[in-house]
Amino acid sequence: MVGIKDVAETAGLSVATVSRVLNGHPSVSDGARERVLAATEALGYRPNVVARSLRTDRTGTIGLVISDVLNPYFTELARAVEEEARTLGYSVIIGNADERADLEDHHVRGLLERRIDGLLISPADGRSPMTLEAAAGPTPVVFVDRWIPGTDVPVVRSDGRGAIADLVDHLHALGHRGLAIITGPTATTTGRERVDAFRAGLAAHGLTLREEYVGRGDFQAESGRRATERFLDLPEPPDVVFATDNLMALGALDAIGARGLRVPDDVALAAFDDIPWFSHTDPPITTIAQPTAELGRVAVRALADLIAGSPATSTVLPAHLVVRRSCGEPDPEGATRE
């Protein structure tokens, strides 16, 4: 591989000068600059980022560890993160934890060893030792979407409570009383928040969340299917199933369809996370939409601040209800309609 040394040789200059040209250092003559650029061109020189990183202790890279790439929510998040990072001059390395603590560990460790400049994590739960270590260590860390209570890491997330209250109001207004929920892992902050808000919403209408109407899921499609099947097997099945992420909603749809039941006539369905496909399902699904891309952008900027040495602030953005047809005819004066 051709290095800076070869360039220096053909340009008839020292490596120091070549380096200066390559880094836009002001103190270099036009003649030298020209000769260096000509040499790099002629030799097809390509800088060795590895060597540069070793010397400068900066990799120009940030890590992003998410729970599940296959989940369209995280895909969109990842895309926004990469885009914003690129405009700020950073590359992004994505680690897919697949909702597994061991994989989360694996990726966080790998990224730290790679000496990324900063780390964006959506922690599965508080039980990944490496994540905790990273949160406490010297590398800048920002949590996105989910967070770990008790750490003093900045968090960029959306608050679904208001939207969930709106959802319960909506369901109540449509006459539904038997409300069931498929939760995520209760170890995740988002998992807990969503079921808590749901329960609070019911309480506001004088209803309580029946124990058998709580299905424990793991944010993956298969768990949504199983939970829904259990609901439908109950002597008194619920009127509505609220899946707390889009994949579990997909599983629920599967389970309902497999029994030949219709949404919303036989059972209504609502989901957390809005994705394009939800306007094309049969029927279109009422959802709670997060400002996903904005979340990603804000998180990157917070991380960049942290890397630059300034303190980063946590951000909470609101989610909102998107009423479609999967819970019955929309109430006349409701939230956003599609």
Partner DNA sequence: TCCTATCATGTAAACGTTTCCATGGACCCA
Partner DNA sequence: TGGGTCCATGGAAACGTTTACATGATAGGA
Task: Name the residues that contact DNA, by CB under 7 A.
Answer: 1, 3-5, 12-20, 22-23, 26-29, 31-32, 45, 47-48, 51-52, 54-57
In the list a copy of itself, DNA, none, the entry touching 175 (Cβ below 5 to 8 angstroms by class) is none
265 binds a copy of itself (CB under 8 A): no
Say whether residue 136 binds a copy of itself (CB under 8 A).
no
Residues 60-79 that bind a copy of itself (CB under 8 A): 69-70, 72, 75-76, 78-79
- Pairing assessment for the beta strands 118-121 and 155-159 based on DSSP bridges: unpaired
Give the pairing type, strands 286-289 and 320-323: antiparallel
Out of 257, 308, 316, 318, name the contact with a copy of itself by CB under 8 A.
257
Binding partner selected for residue 332 from DNA, a copy of itself, none, CB under the kind-specific 5 to 8 Å limit: none
Query: Nearer Cβ to a copy of itself, position 242 or 278?
Result: 278
From the list DNA, a copy of itself, none, partner contacted by residue 315 (C-beta under 5 to 8 A by kind)? none
Contacts 24+ apart (CB under 8 A), 299-303: 299/81, 299/120, 299/142, 299/144, 299/156, 300/62, 300/81, 300/84, 300/85, 300/88, 300/90, 300/120, 301/84, 301/88, 302/142, 302/154, 302/156, 303/62, 303/118, 303/119, 303/120, 303/140, 303/141, 303/142
* H-only helix segments in 90-160: 101-113, 129-136
User: In whole angstroms, how close is the CB of 208 to DNA at the nearest point?
Assistant: 56
Min CB(47)–DNA separation in Å = 5
Among 51, 203, 234, 308, the residue binding a copy of itself under the rule CB under 8 A is 51
Beta bridge partners of 253: none
Q: Which is nearer to a copy of itself, 25 or 86 (CB)?
A: 86
Site for a copy of itself in 103-122 (CB under 8 A): 106, 109-110, 112-115
Site string for a copy of itself, 266-295 (x = CB under 8 A): ----------xx-xxxxx------------
Residues 161, 320: Cα–Cα separation, whole Å: 9
When asked if residue 48 is in the footprint of a copy of itself (CB under 8 A), the reply is: yes
Give start and end residues of each alpha helix (H) in 137-245.
161-173, 189-204, 221-233
Please state the closest distance from residue 203 (CB atom) to a copy of itself, in A: 33
Residue 19 beta carbon to DNA: minimum distance, rounded to whole angstroms: 3
Identify what 189 binds: a copy of itself, DNA, none; CB under 5 to 8 Å per kind.
Answer: none
Please report, as a single letter, which amino acid is at residue 116: I
Distance CA 190, CA 45 (A): 48
- Closest approach of a copy of itself to the CB of residue 116, in Å: 10
Whichever of 3 and 334 has its CB closer to DNA, that residue is 3
Please report which helix (H) or strand (E) contains residue 186, including its range.
none
How many Cα neighbours within 13 Å face the side chain of 26?
A: 0
Which partner in a copy of itself, DNA, none is near 313 (CB below 5 to 8 A by kind)?
Answer: none
Sheet strand arrangement including 179-183: 214-216, 179-183, 240-243, 268-272, 286-289, 320-323, 336-337
Within 13 Å and on the Cβ side, how many CA atoms surround 230?
A: 15
Q: Which helix (H) or strand (E) holds 234?
A: none
C-alpha dist (Å) from residue 67 to 47, 121, 187, 249? 34, 9, 13, 17
Report the partner that residue 45 touches, choosing among a copy of itself, DNA, none (CB closer than 5 to 8 A by kind): DNA
Kindly list the residues in this chain that would bind a copy of itself in the complex (CB under 8 A): 1, 46-51, 53-54, 59, 69-70, 72, 75-76, 78-79, 82, 86, 91, 93-94, 96, 106, 109-110, 112-115, 138, 221, 250, 253-254, 257, 276-277, 279-283
